[in-house]
Structure 1
């Protein structure tokens, strides 16, 4: 399961509700346990560097600039989507392929 989450994920454009809640976000999961979470805007991207680990179906993150652990349930779907369940909301992310 760990290797399957590696890579660059963007919020599914069809997930309108998540765009309203989170904005235009992307996440890059690296093999060294680093997670780069980016909130994209027309003016300036905000980048948060985090660490992550996976225990079962739970993604555990820790933001380095404001340390505290967050737990988020997740599912990798058969069609290569990442569904995150955080604070009672499901967001859907799609893997962005390298070009």
Structure 2
């Protein structure tokens, strides 16, 4: 996607995503499936996805766009877009559905 299109999309971005989100500790299914994940969304379309792998912290740098009720992500180092449905249960609770699995994230303070 060229920079002009990204700037236009950013101007229409959903600001509710901005900031850090962590897996809800009561969402045992997600904790078992993907672990204790933290996502950080920035206003310039960057998404940092952090999780523990054994005794190390793994960080994946992505870009994201929001179109309707979908988050479109891409990993610049290995280009391939992924789509996930989302909904805000509350202003501090985000539900993301990827491959049929719903994960609940809580906005970090």
Q: How many residues align?
A: 97
Instruction: Give the Cα separation in 2 of the matches to 1:28 and 1:79.
Output: 16
Superposition pairs of residues 66-85 of structure 1, within 5 angstroms: 66-78=78-90, 80-85=92-97
- State whether residues 24 and 41 of structure 1, in contact with CA within 8 Å, keep that contact through their aligned partners in structure 2: no
Unaligned runs of 5+ in 1: none
Unaligned runs of 5+ in 2: 1-12
Superposition pairs of residues 15-54 of structure 1, within 5 angstroms: 15-41=27-53, 43-54=55-66
Structure 1 residue 32: deviation in Å?
0.4
- State whether residues 16 and 91 of structure 2, in contact with CA within 8 Å, keep that contact through their aligned partners in structure 1: no
Q: Runs of at least 4 residues of structure 1 off by over 3 A?
A: none
RMSD of equivalent CA atoms: 1.3
Instruction: Give the Cα separation in 2 of the matches to 1:76 and 1:41.
Output: 28
Q: TM-score, normalised by structure 1?
A: 0.92
Of structures 1 and 2, the larger Rg is shown by: 2
Q: Could you give the per-residue CA deviations for residues 9-61 of structure 1, whole angstroms, max 9, x where no partner exists?
A: 00000000101110111100000000000012562110000000000000000
Task: Report SS of the residue matched to 2:32.
Answer: helix
- State whether residues 27 and 36 of structure 1, in contact with CA within 8 Å, keep that contact through their aligned partners in structure 2: yes
Kindly indicate which of the two structures has a greater share of residues assigned to helix: 2
Instruction: Give the Cα separation in 1 of the matches to 2:102 and 2:15.
Output: 22
